[in-house]
Chain A
Amino acid sequence: MTAIGRSSTDRTTNVVLLSDTRLEEDLNALLTFGEGPQRLISPFLHESIHRWCFQSPVGNALTLLQMRIHKAALLSLAEPDSRSRHVSTLAESINRYETALAFLRPLDEGMSLFGEFDLKTDNKTRSWSEPLELAATFFAKPLASPENPELFIGSWAQGVLQPMRLAQACLDRKADVLGLPLRCDGDAYLPGYMLVRRMWLKGLHRDWRLANETDLFLMYFRSFIYDDSGLVAVLLDGSLDEIRGAQAVANHIIGRLEQFTSFDPDDLARYDEAVAGENEPKVRSRAIASTLSLDEALAAHGEQMLRQALDEYGREEDDRLLAALQFHEMQVLNRRQLQYVGSWAVDVEVKDGRYRVSREGQLIREGLARHDAAPSEGNGYIDVLQWIPRRERVCAILHEGSVVATESLFVSRHKQNDPELLSIIGERDEARERLMVFDQAVDEVVADSWAEIAVKHIRDHLPDMLNQAYLPTILNDTPLDQVESTSALMAEEGFYPMLHYNRQLIEGLAALSIFCSSLAPLENAVAAFLGHRGLSLERTLDAADDLARRYGVAKVYREDGYLLSSI
C-alpha cells in the first residue's frame, strides 16, 4: 500500500524532505545533472526556499535561540539550586522564539508559494537566487557546464519552470491555495501568499522591473527579513522580560514590512550588484546589508551577538552536560549546510571495504565504503542531498544511523568518502532524536513552573496579534469597515465561498494568475490558455470584478490588453 508523507523543512536542522520521491524512479534521476522528475520541481522549490530563508543570520539566530531554550530546560532539571534563573531564561526565550516563528511563518509560506507559482528571471538583472540555481542543477538539462551555470539559468527558467507551471498539477495546486483558510495562525498559506504578492505589487510601484524579475523581488524581500541583523539583535537580546521581548520581536518584523514598501530603487540596483558580485563572503554580506535600510547601530549589535554566540562553540567546556550539549549543537549547526532531497529505507551491506545497497534482493548501488566502516549488514538508508556551500550533489549511505559511505558528484574530481562531509553528515538520526528529547524536556519544565503562565499568555494572544498585524495589509483594497467581515468570510475556505464553490471560476482565477506570471500577461493569450482548458476569461474577469467590488479582493488590473492579478 502506498504511504505518502508531506514535504517538510525542519527549521532547526534545516533537513528538507520531499514527499512522493520514489527510489526506483528517482534515485538515479536525482543523482544525474538536470534529470530530476518534473513532479518534484514544485515541492523542491517550495522547500528549497524555506531552507534558503532559514540559512541566514535570522535563521541562525533562531536556531541559537532554540538551543538556548533547550539548554535552559536541561540546566533547570540538572541544577535545582539555579532553577529560578534558568526558568526565567526559558520563559523569555520561548516567547521571543515562538513569536518570531508565528510572525515569520506567513512570510515563509508566502515566499515559498510565490517561488512555486511566480518565480522567474531574465537578463534585466545580474543576480539570481540560490533556490533557482539549485533547481536548475537538479531539473534542467545543462546548456552550459555544471561548473558555470551562468549561461543557462535564464533559459532554464523558461524551459523548465514554464511547462511545470502550466501543467494541470500546478494549476490545481494554486486553485487549492485559493481555498485555504485566511487565518494568519496555523499554516498561513493563503494569507502568506496574499501578503507576499501584496509586497510584490507594492514593489512594482517602486521599480517596475520587478514585474518580470520576480526572482529579484523574492531575493530582496527575503534579505530584508532574513538578513536583518537588527532582528537578530532583538531575538538574542535577553534583557527584556518575557512579554515585552515577544512584543519587540513582533513590532520589529511588522516595521520591516512597512519599510519594504518604500524601498529605494537605487538600493535594489545596488543589491542586485552586490549579490552578483564575486567578492569574498564578508565583503558581499556587508554590501548586501548596506542596501537593506537597516538601523546601523542595532544591526551592528546583532552581528556582534551572533558572532559571540557562535564563538562560544570554540570554547572548551569542562562540565560534562555542557560539553555534550555543545557537541550536539555544533553538529546541528554544521548539518544546516546540507539540503536533503530524497531518503529511502534500504538494505545495506558493508564487506571487504565496499558497500552494497539493495532492496527486496535487487542491487541498487555499490561502491567504496569509508575506510573505518566495520563489516555489517542490515537496515539502512540511501540519501540524496546537496552540500550547499560546496555545490556538491551527494549520495550518502547510512547503516544503523551512521554514515558508511558518501559519493560527491558533479565536482571536478569524483570524490568518495570526503572526511569533512562524513563528519558533517555524522549520525544523521541521533541528532534529530536528541532534539525531540530536548523538546520534551522543555515541555516538562514549562508545565512544572511559572513559565507556563507566561508562555500560555503569549500563545493565547498570538492568533489575534497576527491577524491584526497582517490582515489589514493583506486586505489592502478592502474598505476598513469591511476587513473584519471579509476576513471572517474567508477564514475557513478562502475564496471558495465567495465564488460559490464554482470550480470553473476558481480554476479560472488560478490559471489567469499563473499564466500571467509564467508566460505573458496579455489578455488575448490568457483567453486562449483558459479556453484551451474549458475555462472562460470573460466569466473569470466578471467574477474577479464582482469580488473586487463587493469585498475588495481578487482585483485584476486591466490596461491596454495587459492583465495583472492581485492574487
Chain B
Amino acid sequence: MQELPYYPGCSLKDTANNFETSALKTAEELGFDLEELPRWNCCGTVYSLTDDNLMKQLGPIRNLVHAQSHGYDRLYTLCSMCDNTLKRANLLVKEDQDKLKKINAFMDQEPDYLGEVEVRHFLQLLRDEVGWERVRENVKNPLNDLNIAPYYGCMLTRPREVGLDDPHDPSVFDDLIEALGANPVDFAYDSECCGSYNTVDKAEVVLDKTETIINGARKAGADLMITSCPLCQFNLDSRQVDLIEVAPSHEPLPVLYFTQLTALAFGHPEACQFSENSVDPTTKVEPVKNPATER
C-alpha cells in the first residue's frame, strides 16, 4: 500500500465524517493508505484576498510546514475549500519571497517553509495518477446507469491559477461518473455557487441557490448529485430540509460526496455512512448495493 500524506480539514473529522470514511475506503481499494498528518491546524478557509494580511496565511502555511517536516513533498486534500486555501497560500509564498520571509520569521517555533510541498486534490490523484481505466477496473457494483449530476462548485476550478480543471467547462467529475459506469448529467448550474458561507447569516440567499441548483439537476434528469465540499454538501443536502419547510412541493434529490459514490461502486457501501446524508439516498443506491435487486 502506498502511503499518501493527507490533510482532512476540520469538517471531515466531525460533521462531514462520511466524506472521510468513504474516501479512506476508496483509497484503500486503489492501493493507497491516506495517512493523516500527525499534527495539523484549521486551514482558515476562505483564502484571504487582502494584500497585507499575512496573519491569515499562517494557518495554511503552517500545515505545509508540518508536511515538509515529515519529509512529504505532496499533501492530498478532499475538501475543495481546504484544497483551494492551501493551494493559493502556497502559490502566494512561492511568488512573493518577501511575504514568505515575513511569515517564516513570525512562525519562530517552526522550521522555515521552503515552498516545496505540492497540494493535490483527491480528484487529481484519480485523474492524473491512477487513471480512469484503473478506476473502472475497481468497480465491483456497477452503478446501473444512474444519472448523476456533477456539482463542481467554485473552489475546485477557480481561480485558474490553482484550479484543477477549466472553470467554464470542467470535466473531471463527468469522467469519474462515466468510469464508475453511470451517466453524467449536463445541467446549467454545475459551477454555480451554492451560497457558501452565507448559510450562517443569510440562509435565504442559500435556499434560493439550493432550489435553483437541485431543480436544475432534476430537470436535466438527475437521480443523484455529487459534491466535493462539506459546505456545498450542507447547502445542497441539509438545506433541502429547510427548503421543504418553505416550499413543501420541493422534491428532494439525494446529494452525495463523490467518494461515497466511489466507495459504493467499489463494493463498500458500509464505508459511505449514508445515514448521515440529510436526503436519504438509499432508494437510489439500494439497487447498486444489491445488484440482484430489480430497479
Whether chains A and B associate is no
